[in-house]
């Protein structure tokens, strides 16, 4: 007589849940990134994926415990359910850690936001009210998010800013390039995060022919929590700008001197 070895139903459901969670999470992120679904629908879909992934892990753990004593089949299915569910839960663990590290903020700036408006200005029905830090909170959480002043002309400083924005791959939506030393240079650029959230950066450069003042703003357009992305983005960008200006002034000591029209004529040859 042939002995029939059963397959654990817990293992079967663990594999099924894991097989549903992965495509649900991936497709949700892809559609949100491509702006094919709204942010509200994305949140519902991604939270559903997280719930299904948690069920896969739970069912897999229960299956392993029962298989150890029953001798039934289903080890591979239980383990696969745990692996697939665990992979889907990793982003939730990552963002959960960021939520514990950073407060729920969506708009950070080094100075008054009035002169640095967004291309997609808050106030529309589809954009939540921005959440901001006080100056004291910003100094503690993001101490390097502060106005920069450089001994370099406004025009060359803005050129460095634009070059850094391009190298970071940000999509420039508005550009006001300074022509002379007293003009104001400003650009707005949009960033799409991996999960598909839209964030906007504003960089404003003022000053003279020999000095430049740089302010920066970074804001989330359709999120309730930026998980620290806006503050870290400003910190990283200004650090890059500090290094670029320092390198330029080190390699070109006279780069901060304005060009004199009287010096346009070529100098006489040396004897």
pLDDT beyond 90 at 73: no
pLDDT band at 126 (very low <50, low <70, confident <90, very high): low
Mean pLDDT along residues 231-249? 96
**Contact at 8 Å (CB) between 217 and 187?**
no
**Contact at 8 Å (CB) between 10 and 2?**
no
pLDDT value at residue 128 = 73
Beta-strand runs (E) in the chain: 107-109, 148-150, 171-176, 185-192, 198-207, 212-220
Computed over every residue of the chain, the mean pLDDT equals 88
pLDDT band at 260 (very low <50, low <70, confident <90, very high): low
Mean pLDDT along residues 25-50? 94
- For 167-203, how does the pLDDT look when each residue is reduced to its tens digit (9 = 90+)? 999 999 999 999 876 789 999 999 999 999 999 999 9
CA-based radius of gyration for the chain: 27
Greatest CA separation for the chain: 113
pLDDT beyond 70 at 239: yes
Q: How far is CA 256 from CA 157, 209, 265, in A?
A: 10, 8, 20
pLDDT beyond 50 at 263: no
pLDDT value at residue 225 = 92
pLDDT value at residue 257 = 67
* 56 vs 80: CA distance, rounded Å: 9
């Amino acid at each position: 007589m042939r002995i029939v070895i059963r397959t654990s139903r817990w293992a079967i459901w663990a594999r099924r849940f894991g097989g549903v969670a992965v495509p649900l999470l991936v497709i949700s992120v892809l559609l949100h990134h491509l702006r094919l679904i709204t942010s509200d629908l994305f949140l519902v879909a991604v939270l559903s994926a997280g719930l299904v992934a948690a069920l896969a892990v739970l069912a897999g753990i229960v299956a392993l415990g029962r298989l150890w004593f029953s001798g039934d089949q289903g080890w591979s299915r239980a383990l696969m359910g745990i692996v697939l569910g665990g992979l889907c839960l990793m982003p939730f663990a990552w963002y959960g850690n960021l939520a514990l590290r950073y407060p729920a903020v969506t708009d950070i700036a080094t100075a008054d936001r009035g002169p640095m408006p967004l291309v997609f200005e808050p106030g529309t029905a589809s954009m939540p009210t921005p959440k901001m830090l006080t100056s004291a909170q910003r100094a503690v959480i993001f101490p390097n998010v502060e106005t920069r002043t450089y001994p370099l002309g406004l025009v060359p400083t803005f050129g460095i800013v634009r070059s850094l924005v391009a190298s970071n791959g940000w999509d420039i939506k508005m550009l006001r390039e300074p022509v002379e030393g007293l003009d104001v240079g400003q650009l707005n650029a949009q960033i799409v995060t991996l999960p598909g959230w839209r964030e906007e950066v504003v960089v404003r450069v003022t000053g003279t022919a020999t000095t430049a003042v740089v302010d920066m703003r970074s804001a989330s357009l359709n999120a309730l929590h930026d998980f620290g992305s806006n503050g870290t983005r400003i910190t990283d960008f200004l650090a890059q700008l500090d290094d670029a200006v320092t390198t330029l002034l080190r390699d070109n000591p006279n780069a901060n001197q304005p060009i004199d029209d009287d010096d346009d004529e070529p100098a006489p040859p040396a004897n």
